Each structure stands twice: as C-alpha cells, then as structure tokens.
Amino acid sequence: MKDRDALVRRLGLLTVVPVALLPLSNPDLFWHLSAARRMRETLSIPTADWLSSTRAGAPWADFEWACQLVFGALHRAGGMHALWLFKAAMIGASAWLLLKSLELYEADAPTSSAALALWGAASLTRSDIRPELFSLLGFGLVFLALERRRLGLAVPGPAWCAALFCVWANLHPGFVYGLVLIGLYGAWRHLAAALLGCLLQVQGPAGLGVLWTHWRDSGNIGLRLSEWRPVRFDDPWHWPFWIALFSACGAALLSLRHGRRPPLGPLAAVLFFGFAASRHSRMAAYAVTCAVPLTVAFLKDAGLAASPLRRRAALGLIAVFGAFSLYCAAGYGLGRTAFNDHFIARGAAEFLARQTPELPRRALYNPWGWGGYLGWRLHPDWLVFQDGRYLFHDLLKETGDALASPADWQAFLDRRGIDIALMEDLPLFEESTGLPYHVAFMPRERWALVYRDGRALVFARRASAPPPWLAARELR
C-alpha cells in the first residue's frame, strides 16, 4: 500500500510540471525589466515616467519595485531561462503550500494528488512570470497559517504578519487579498499587525493609492484587456476554476446535510473569492487556493470515509486534470522555448533600432501590449506611446474609440502628432471594401508601409519622413 501511495503522489506532482514549466509570455515583463535597469542606473526607485512620450515626467508610483529588482537580477544572471526557472520554482513553492494544507485534513494519497492536479490545471491562466507570483505564494502561506489556527494547531504570533506584509506590500499589491482573507477568518490581532506592515510600503500613500486607481479603472480596462474580464464558461482554460469552485460549494452542502455546519471563515473565503473571480478573472488563482483544499476539508467534516470507489474516482481525476494541463501547455510551446514571443513585436523593434540614426526621436504609436518590450529594447532612442503600466489606462479608451472608423483613427494620429505607427498585422478586413483593415485605416497617400513581418506593420507618415529613406523602404 505504501508503494502504491508513493506512486500516486508522484503522479500528482507530475501533473504540476507542465504548469510550472509553461513558457514565459507576459509582455509586461519588459517594463518591469526597464524599471530594474532604471533603478540600477540611478540607485533610486522611479517616481516619474521616463519611457514614454505621452506621460514623460508624470508621477509614477512604482509599487512593485522589489519584485522588479529580483526579475532584473535574474535576467542579468541568466536571461529568460533564469526567469523561467524562477517562475517554475515559485509555482512549485505554491504547490508545496497546498500539500501542507491538505496534510491538515489527513487526506490520503489519491485525494491529495487529485486536489493537486485540479489546483495545477486551474492555475494555468496565472502561471506566467508576473509580480503576482509573490502574492499567490503569500496568499497560500496566509491560508495555511489561518487553517492551522482554526484547527487549534500552533502558529506564530501576529508579529510574523507584520513582517510578511511589509515585504509583500513592496512586491505586489495582491497583499490586499491577504488582508481580506485574514479578516474573513476573524483573526483581528493578526489583521492589525498585517495592516501595520503594509504601512511600511516604501512608496507610502502613493503606492497604496495605486489600488484605488486600478479599482477605479477596472471597468474601462476590462473592455479592452481579456485578463481583466470575468472568468468564462466557454473558455476551456477556465473550466478547472469552475470545477474547483463548484466542488467546494458542493462539499460544503454535503457537510451541512450530514449535520456538520461548515466553518464560517473558510466558507466565507470560498464564496468571496469565488464571486470576485466571477467578476474578474485575475482573482481566480486566489479563489482556487482556498477552494481546492477546503473541498477536502468539507468532505472530511461530512464524514465521507475513503472507499475503493472514491479512490478510483481520485485516480481518474488525476489523469483527467494532468492530461488537460499537459495538452494546454504543449499548445503554448512547452518544451520548445523559455519565452514565447507571440505577444511582443520583436522584429519591428529591431527594425526601428536600425533606423534610429535616420529617424531620431520621431513620435511613435504602439499598441498597449507591445510597449513594454519596445521601451526595454529601444530606450532612450525611441519613446513609447503606451505600455502596461497604470499611467496609460486612459489611453486604452482613447485608442479604442479612435479605432471605430478610419476617419476617427486619422484624427487620433494627427492629434497626437504620430510620425511612426506600429499596428498589428491582423487577418481582418474592412467590411465596406473587403480589403485588409490597414488599407482603409492607414491610407497610402498619407502613410508608407515600411516594415511587415506577419505580426507587425510599421507605417511612416509621408509628410515627415525623409523621402530618400521612404523610397528605399516602402513595401506598397
């Protein structure tokens, strides 16, 4: 039996490997690296924008500065492979915390391995290189401590919360979810200590005020960025989240049916973070961190003992969720690269870098997701129009509205004084003419197409680009 349990536990761990080793693809990584480079050059935390033409000199609270220093040091030491391995280690640490939580409920090998496989599949959407990795780790640590406290086991005093949240608040604003979790469990002394630690955030009130900025702009951002939208039933990558949430709720009902009222704090955590995720997909990882282990806890409270049928069901779930994670990861480039550059304009950036002597400091337009890489690769010779920082939330609406029609788009480019415009090379057509959209939106008499690689288009304004330069590079 021990050998069989050991094999089952190894199978459970294997299901997390594709999640941990999913290639990096987050385009925001590069503005974090730019911030790390800035701190290394100036020996200070940035307080104003230096990467863009649209917000140059505007106040900017770099509330993730500590994480950026970690990312920057890793990148200098080993490039994308070092960041990829670090990301894998962070996910592995979160998985270890989950297993430690499952040990509290004395889960058998099949149950704990099935829970781990479900957690891994549900974590696929947040398994990229992001400052949020630190929040997921901190959240898992807080959850484990709160569950130990609820079950009457030894936990450190409130002082550890002050230390944890002091560090956490300088890594990622997800510390606020840790505060909410402590409050839901009613650990008021620990909550007071955690709040004290948060006040030691290096950026002070400006850093904490960023939370309000993101909440205020969340509706506008959600209209333009998919990761700010609710989790969806029609997206296969979100299915494990729904399974985890419904499993926790179903297990709570079973416990109630068997005469055991589910503990209020854990149940409140499942419902609160589950509802939050249903409104905002970035919350799904926090919901799953609670829902998966609490499903096991609620089942134990219901008095459902292990049985051969339950064991076979757990083995089936390990196979299903493991195959799901492997399939998704393989389609995303698992085993082929450390960084999947599908979401950056690497070729266009290299093209602009070569043109710098002939086109010094021309006003540039770029899509939101490309700004991070362009700023990291081209600064200081080129300044970006926008990148993934909160400074540019209002530009999401402005550019989205401008794309309503070719006339609106031209008015936008004129108003902003754009000389060089980067646009996505999309297989879309302008309905009224049946032509590719850029033919209508970037008319040839005003704009010259000077670069194209199947992912990006680069246009130069004829009225401001040197004619000899245009003649040598125009593609249409």
- 305 exposure class (CB count in 10 Å sphere: 0-12, 13-18, 19+): exposed
Supply the pLDDT for residue 224: 66
Element (H, E) at 365: strand 364-365
End-to-end CA distance of the chain: 71
Mean pLDDT of 88-115: 95
User: How far is residue 202's CA from residue 62's CA, in Å, rounded to a whole number?
Assistant: 10
Pair 46, 62: CB distance under 8 Å:
yes
Contacts 24+ apart (CB under 8 A), 354-358: 355/469, 356/381, 356/382, 358/466, 358/469
Asked if residue 194 has pLDDT above 90, the reply is yes
Q: For 341-473, which CATH class?
A: alpha beta
Q: Which residues pair with 24 in a beta bridge?
A: 339
More confident residue, 359 or 318: 318
pLDDT band, very low/low/confident/very high, at 280 (cuts 50, 70, 90): confident
Counting Cα atoms < 13 Å in the Cβ hemisphere of 42 gives: 12
Residue-level pLDDT at 217: 66
Token pair recorded at residue 165: 């949240």
Do 185 and 265 contact (CB within 8 A), yes or no?
A: yes
pLDDT at 426 over 90: no
Give how far Cα 455 sits from Cα of 337, 368, 372, 424, 470, Å.
19, 15, 16, 6, 21
Q: 16-54 burial, b if ≥16 CB within 10 A, otherwise e?
A: bbbbbbbbbbbbbbbbbbbbbbbbeeeeebbeebbbbbb
The domain locations on the chain are 2-331, 341-473
Amino acid in the structure at residue 264: L
In this structure, are residues 295 and 246 in contact, taking their beta carbons and an 8 Å threshold? no
Report the percent of the chain where pLDDT is more than 90.
70
138-147, 157-166, 256-265, 312-321, range with the lowest pLDDT? 256-265
Alpha helix (H) ranges present in 232-368?
239-257, 264-279, 284-301, 308-331, 346-355
The structure tokens listed for 126 are 């947040």
Which residue has better confidence, 386 or 303? 386
Q: What is the pTM of this model?
A: 0.94
Give the mean model confidence (pLDDT) for residues 355-372. 92
Q: Tell me, what amino acid is at 364?
A: L
Q: What average pLDDT does the structure give for the chain?
A: 91
Residue partners of 76: CB distance under 8 A and separation at least 6: none
Phi, psi (degrees; rounded to nearest 5) at 325:
-65, -40
45-71 pLDDT, tens per residue? 999 999 999 999 999 999 899 999 999
Check whether 428 has a pLDDT greater than 70: no
